[in-house]
Each structure stands twice: as structure tokens, then as C-alpha cells.
Amino acid sequence: MQTDPYQAEDEAFIEAVKKNRPEIIRSPYSDALKTLKLTLAADSSLEKGKIISLPNFK
């Protein structure tokens, strides 16, 4: 049976957070937060049909 790579990545991240072991993931939590902010801004831009400025996005 083949493993879904996104699921495996999510599971590794959740385990790292639960066990306070950031070394088991490839990037720091701060990078994950930046990626989440970018993704949410892109979704908002698509939904609103306008450009979203990342420094001002909350």
C-alpha cells in the first residue's frame, strides 16, 4: 500500500509539535508559519479577486 506523501508530512509535523521535537521535521516552525500565512493570503486573494499585500495580511 502506498503512503500519501502529504499525510506523512502532516503526521511528522504533528508528532514534532506534540513531542516538542522540532528536529524531526525539515524546517523550523517559523517557516511553517510563513508558509501558512502565504497560503491563507493566496486563498484570500483568490476569493476577493484582488492583490493581497503580505506585510499587511492578518
DSSP at 3: P
Angle at the Cα of 55 (from 52 to 58), degrees rounded to 5?
A: 70
The three-class DSSP label of residue 14 is helix
Computed from CA positions of residues 46, 51, 54, 56, in that sequence, does the dihedral angle turn out positive or negative?
negative
* Average pLDDT score over residue span 6-10: 87
* Average pLDDT score over residue span 2-30: 87
State the pLDDT at residue 1.
65
Q: What is the mean pLDDT of the chain?
A: 88
Domain layout of the chain by residue ranges: 5-56
